Structure 1
Amino acid sequence: MLTLLLLRHAKSNWDNPALADYDRPLAKRGRKAAPRMGAEIAALGLRPDIILCSSAARTRETLSLVLPELGSPPPETIYDDAIYMGAPSDMLSSLRGLGPRDPAPQTAMIVGHNPGMEELAEILVGGGDERSLELMDEKFPTCALAVFTFDAKGWADIAPGTGALTRFLTPAQLT
């Protein structure tokens, strides 16, 4: 059984319109939400073995606030430009590329952006917890977390419609 966590970056700051999208930092609200979501991930026992993270500033900052909540040592992290505004197919390819590692990661997390994160979640879902499915169908807000399980031997076997959505959490649910 494999577990995938899809974490959308926390709320970003739009105060400087001259700043490139790639370089936007988190807003105060985002800096507050990210560690709370990290603590919830840890409380649920969902510590990833490996993390694929967009290389954009806001995803890197989100991850830097989540990681201390997950304990030591930190999971292996791969910063991947393909996740920055990447299509779901790009993110799925990155995930499938987790291939042969020793030990093989059983839990992976992707930290990325919309619309790609929401679209990837919609592509992967093949069933799951009804309430989580309803919540995810409404909106995939900043710092939201979708948790999928797959009855697969390796990440290369992950395919559209094969994931069971077990949880969908938003920062608003944690307050």
Structure 2
Amino acid sequence: MKTLYIVRHAKSSWEYSSIEDIDRPLKERGINDAYLISKELLKKVKPPNVFLSSCAARALHTAMIFGYTFNYPLANLKISKSLYSFSDGYLIKTVKALDDGFKSAIIFSHDHGINTFVNTFGSDPISHVPTCGVIGIKFDIKHWKNIKKGKTFLQEFPKHYK
């Protein structure tokens, strides 16, 4: 059995028009939501074995907040340039490439790839994963490379706590 948590980065700022998309920071609301959801998640699940994040500033900052809450060593955070893609293809490749020694993983990524992934591999249709939304899917597999349709068991969104 393998468990995957997919997290859409928290709310980012469009305030800075002169910076590249990859460098967009979190808004104050995003920072607050990341702390809120990570603390709620910690009450419900065991800490994942591995944390992986897109290289985008907003995803990295979200991952760092979750890592802090889960007491996950920042030095162990895996950063993936390919997770910055807005397609589910890189997300699928990332999951399939996970080390089989990890029974659970948490991935911080972006809108379009996440929505497609959770609807392809999860059991519950989800129309839209909001910023800082977390979806948990269990897979009845021994090897990550063999992912197939799993069981969606968790949907945590900031609006559930406001």
TM-score class normalised by the smaller sequence: over 0.9
The change in CA–CA distance for 1:67 and 1:93 in structure 2 (over 3 A counts) is same
Segment of structure 1 superposing worse, 139-148 or 81-90: 81-90
Aligned residues: 162
Calculate the aligned-residue CA RMSD, in Å: 1.6
Q: Say if 2:150 is the partner of 1:163.
A: yes
Instruction: Structure 1: state its 5+ residue gaps.
Output: 128-132
> What is the DSSP-based 3-state SS (H/G/I as helix, E as strand, rest coil) of the residue aligned with 1:4?
strand
CA distance in 2, matches of 1:19, 1:59: 16
How far apart are the structure 2 equivalents of 1:27 and 1:33? 10
User: 2:108 corresponds to which residue?
Assistant: 111
Residue 83 (structure 1) aligned with residue 72 (structure 2):
no
Distance in 2 between the 1:8 and 1:169 partners?
11
Deviation at 1:45, TM superposition (A): 2.0
Q: Deviations over 1:73-100 (max 9, x none)?
A: 5693210011002421211111111135
3-state SS, counterpart of residue 115 of structure 1: helix
> Separation in 1 of the partners of 2:75 and 2:97?
17
Contact 1:39 1:69 in 2 (8 A): yes
TM-score, normalised by the number of residues in structure 1: 0.86
Change (3 A) 1:2 1:74: farther
Gaps of 5+ in 2: none
Matched with 2:135 is 146
Query: How high is the TM-score relative to the length of structure 2?
Result: 0.93
Following superposition, the deviation at residue 40 of structure 1 comes to: 1.5
CA distance in 1, matches of 2:54, 2:72: 22
- The answer as to 2:120 corresponding to 1:123 is yes
Residue 72 (structure 1) shift = 4.9
Cα 1:51–1:72 shift into 2, 3 Å:
closer
